[in-house]
């Protein structure tokens, strides 16, 4: 009996296979870490072959644990959106390293294009900004610097991670869903199609690009998992989390705190236009109809805690941060601006570098760790201000991702954004959203609204911090951020 959906959740540092039943319960999970490659400062790469091999192993392990492929009704895939893969259509093998979303190698190119006045055109067509974060500039850099790509000719295939996995699962189906396509700098937001002018701007061969499809449907089948299983749901990770949080009404807002942090607000059926350097993006596309979202992207969130643990040795495990934050009454005047990979919305300064300021002899490890956690809420408040200036106000913030298991941080978010914060008991809403899409695609549910029952129970955090204390925190943060922005411009 096919009573489960398999979700392949492709993160920055790990790949997971999760099995969901129709109630939204995750009945089995397999995961594997992915190797991060840093060939030069500012460069981040993955081995697409490793991603595929570990994903396949996780999927097979999860399916075997529940009794075999006959139990799998459909597959949903969700992924880190801006990482780009280059492979050979004839061999199905990678032609170069995958360039990860955090990679900044195209920063000089983007700066030159901005200085040439091209950002206005790009933003009007795509809803995005000229930043090395997005796939298009990565493609342009690769086509200029990796001769093997041009040498591949018509055999060259380019795609984001879900496109790569679908190709490998099906043996050659080259598609991408509308949410991932909307992050490439190559798709016109209004039409949902590849734009010839943008393809020329970023040297992207149309013949190498995938077909853009809906987020739910039947997109081909795979026989690599023991039986013929249809692929029925596709979405970028942040859009998938928006769905998993049941943000189906205009104005509904979610924030995902993983490696980075990403806040999206449902803006309905009309592409939003930002005057505050936020991003317009596709939230989902069903039956050719697009729903849009406004997005603020924070590049460094959980990766800051990972850095404190692995590179600095300030903590042994991430779970320590909650006790350390509670061990001191305040941040002691310390602020951490986590611009370890540049700084994202609403500043968009690729050359910014992180700082720890306000240190004194009274500063302890607990103050620095607390300030690192505080940076999550303070960055989110910057986004809230920008969203409000774009006439997109939040009524509450629905949070998810690996970091929000930390109760101190969840409460701090409520205190600083001064809104109710809602956390589902099951916080892996990125994978859940992909399961909901696959459920619609395979016929479990007629609509996404019907699938919302999979979300389950939630916990609420109400603002408790006094107005003066909140303002003091914000004032100190703004001084620290503007110092970083100013240094980047010098």
pLDDT at 80: 93
Alpha-carbon 291 to chain mean position: 18
> To which residue do tokens 């399961």 refer?
435
Are 328 and 366 within 8 A, CB to CB? yes
Q: Which two tokens stand for residue 381?
A: 């408040």
Kindly report, residue by residue over 192-215, the tens digit of the pLDDT. 999 999 999 999 999 999 999 999
Band (479; pLDDT cuts 50, 70, 90): very high
Residue 490 has pLDDT above 80, yes or no: no
| Mean pLDDT of the region 6-17 | 95
pLDDT tens-digit readout, 265-277: 999 998 999 998 8
Model confidence at 488, pLDDT cuts 50, 70, 90, reads: low
- 51-52-55 Cα angle (round to 5): 80
- CB within 8 A of 124, min separation 6: which ones? none
Burial class (CB in 10 A: 0-12, 13-18, 19+), 340: middle
What is residue 398's predicted lDDT score, i.e. its pLDDT?
97
Q: How confident is the model at residue 331 (pLDDT cuts 50, 70, 90)?
A: very high
Q: How many other CB atoms are there within 10 angstroms of residue 119's CB atom?
A: 17
What is the average pLDDT value for the chain, to the nearest integer? Answer: 95
Q: What is the pLDDT of residue 348?
A: 84
Q: Where are the beta strands (DSSP E) in 306-377?
A: 335-337, 355-357
Tell the residue number behind the tokens 């992915």, with chain if given.
34
179, two tokens: 């949410």
Q: Which residues lie across from 8 on neighbouring strands?
A: 17, 77
CATH superfamily of 4-237: ATPase, nucleotide binding domain (3.30.420.40)
- Dihedral over Cα of 118, 123, 129, 133: its sign: negative
In whole angstroms, give the CA distance from residue 266 to residue 249: 7
Alpha helices, DSSP H only, in 178-319?
A: 178-181, 196-201, 237-244, 302-310
Q: Is the pLDDT of residue 227 over 80?
A: yes
Give per-residue pLDDT as tens, 101-115. Answer: 989 999 999 999 999
Mark residue 254 as left, alpha or beta (left: phi above 0; alpha: psi -120 to 50; beta: remaining): beta
pLDDT tens, residue by residue, 332-387: 999 999 999 888 888 888 888 999 999 999 999 999 999 999 999 999 999 999 99
Nearest partner of 77 among 95, 103, 58, judged by Cα: 58
- Measure the CA angle with vertex 463, ends 459 and 469; round to 5°: 145
What pTM was computed for the model?
A: 0.90
Q: How confident is the model at residue 487 (pLDDT cuts 50, 70, 90)?
A: low
Tell me the per-residue pLDDT of 39-84, one tens digit each, with 9 for 90 and over: 998 899 999 999 999 999 999 999 999 999 999 999 999 999 999 9
């Amino acid at each position: 009996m096919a009573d489960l959906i398999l979700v392949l959740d492709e993160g920055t540092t790990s790949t997971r296979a999760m099995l969901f039943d129709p109630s939204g319960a995750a009945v089995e999970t397999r995961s594997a870490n992915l190797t991060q490659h840093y060939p030069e400062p500012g460069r981040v790469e993955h081995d697409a072959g490793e991603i595929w091999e570990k994903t396949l192993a996780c999927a097979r392990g999860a399916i075997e644990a529940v009794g075999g492929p006959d139990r799998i009704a459909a597959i949903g895939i969700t992924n880190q959106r801006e990482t780009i893969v280059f492979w050979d259509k004839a061999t199905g093998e990678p032609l170069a390293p995958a360039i990860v979303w955090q990679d900044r190698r195209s920063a000089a190119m983007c700066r030159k294009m901005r200085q040439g006045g091209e950002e206005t055109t790009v933003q009007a067509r795509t809803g995005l900004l000229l930043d090395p974060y997005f796939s298009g500039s990565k493609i342009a850099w690769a086509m200029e610097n990796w001769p093997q790509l041009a040498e591949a000719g018509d055999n060259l295939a380019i795609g984001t991670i879900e496109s790569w996995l679908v190709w490998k699962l099906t043996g050659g189906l080259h598609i991408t869903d509308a949410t991932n396509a909307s992050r490439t700098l190559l798709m016109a937001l209004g039409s949902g199609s590849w734009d010839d002018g943008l393809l020329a701007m970023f040297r992207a061969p149309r013949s190498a690009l995938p077909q853009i499809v809906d987020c739910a449907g039947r997109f081909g089948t795979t026989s690599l998992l023991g039986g013929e299983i249809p692929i029925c749901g596709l979405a970028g990770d942040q859009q998938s989390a928006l769905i998993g949080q049941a943000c189906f009404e205009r104005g509904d807002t979610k924030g995902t705190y993983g490696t980075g942090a990403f806040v999206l607000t449902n803006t309905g059926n009309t592409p939003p236009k930002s005057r505050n350097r936020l991003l317009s993006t596709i939230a989902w596309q069903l039956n050719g109809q697009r729903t849009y979202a406004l997005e603020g992207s924070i590049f460094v969130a959980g990766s800051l805690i990972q850095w404190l643990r692995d590179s600095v040795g300030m903590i042994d495990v991430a779970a320590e941060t909650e006790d350390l934050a509670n061990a001191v009454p305040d941040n002691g005047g310390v602020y951490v601006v986590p611009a370890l990979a540049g700084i994202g919305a609403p500043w968009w300064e690729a050359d910014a570098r992180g700082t720890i300021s306000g240190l004194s002899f009274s500063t302890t490890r607990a103050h620095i760790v607390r300030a690192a956690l505080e940076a999550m809420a303070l960055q989110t408040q910057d986004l809230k201000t920008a969203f409000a200036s774009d006439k997109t106000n939040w009524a509450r913030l629905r949070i998810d991702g690996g970091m929000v298991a930390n109760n101190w941080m969840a409460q701090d978010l409520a205190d600083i954004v001064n809104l109710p914060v809602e956390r589902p008991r099951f916080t892996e809403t990125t994978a859940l959203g992909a399961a909901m899409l696959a459920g619609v695609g395979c016929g479990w549910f007629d609509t996404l609204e019907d699938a919302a029952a999979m979300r389950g129970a939630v916990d609420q955090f109400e603002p408790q911090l006094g107005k003066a204390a909140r303002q003091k925190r914000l004032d100190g943060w703004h001084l620290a951020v503007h110092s970083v922005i100013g240094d980047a411009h010098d």
